[in-house]
Amino acid sequence: MSVENITVVKCGGSTVNKLTAEFFKSIAAMRETGMNPILVHGGGPEINRMLEQMQIECEFVNGLRKTTPEVLEVAEMILSGKVNKALVSFLQTTGTRAFGMSGVDGGLIEAEQVADQDLGLVGEVVNVNTACIKSMIENGFVPVIAPIAADKNGKKLNVNADAAASAVAQAIGAKELLFITDVEGVLIDGSKADYIQVEKLEQLIYDGEIYGGMIPKVQAAAASLTGDLEKVVIAGADGHTDQANGKLKGTAIIREQVQALT
């Protein structure tokens, strides 16, 4: 089986509980039509709820929660356990075989602790074991990856899910990266844009056409467009599709206008 036609699908923590049956059918359709999807997911809201239930006090640094050993333990429990296995289970209800793992398993994602030590046990990805992922795909599975990584000495680190998805996409040579969010795409003049060229993003932000929480989404998409990655699609969690192959509707952030037609 070819592992060249790869699409990485990143599900944000705020959307995990909003994913519909249609979304999972879309992933199954990708697989059935010769595409090779890889899911990378977050789980922030679930982590927050568990920290509250366990009455674990959190420290914040410049608005970001510090990942203490206690916070990391909860994050791993939720991401690698509850959320990861829920996604695997939902996928398998469509008849699609899925294999859940975290970045720790098989040395899948190696990270280094960020320079800002005040953030605690937070990592930046330095290597992705693509052979491990390709092995799963070759054996008929859809990999479902939780963004908990380890450094070269085995110390576990919490990795931003957007960064993990981007690193996986770039390392494995994916042609497309999808960010699944709580909106259907990028709205311009009240209508969803089918595509936006990277060079036009800053002007759209400056003009106020792109605003609020969409700004970091499009900036993260633009930053991901390196190597073989041709486009990043920002799409909704409802699973509505453009085509029978499972490709999700949304807004494509692209390098060149011609790529909008592919």
pLDDT digits (tens, 9 = 90+) for 112-167: 999 888 999 999 999 999 999 999 999 999 999 999 999 999 999 999 998 899 89
65 labeled part of a ligand binding site? yes
31 labeled part of a ligand binding site? no
Q: Where are the domains of the chain?
A: 6-261
- pLDDT at position 260 is 44
43 labeled part of a ligand binding site? yes
DSSP strands (E only) in the chain: 6-11, 36-41, 60-61, 64-65, 98-102, 109-113, 123-128, 142-146, 148-150, 156-158, 176-181, 187-188, 191-192, 195-197, 231-236, 250-254
17 labeled part of a ligand binding site? no
CATH number for the 6-261 domain, one of 3.40.1160.10, 3.40.50.300, 3.60.10.10, 3.20.20.30? 3.40.1160.10
Q: How far apart are CA 123 and CA 127, in angstroms?
A: 12
- pLDDT at position 243 is 58
Q: Which of 1-10, 22-31, 247-256 has the highest mean pLDDT?
A: 22-31
Q: How far apart are CA 243 and CA 249, in angstroms?
A: 9
pLDDT digits over 88-116, tens only?
A: 999 999 999 999 999 999 999 999 999 88
224 pLDDT band (50/70/90 cuts)?
Answer: confident
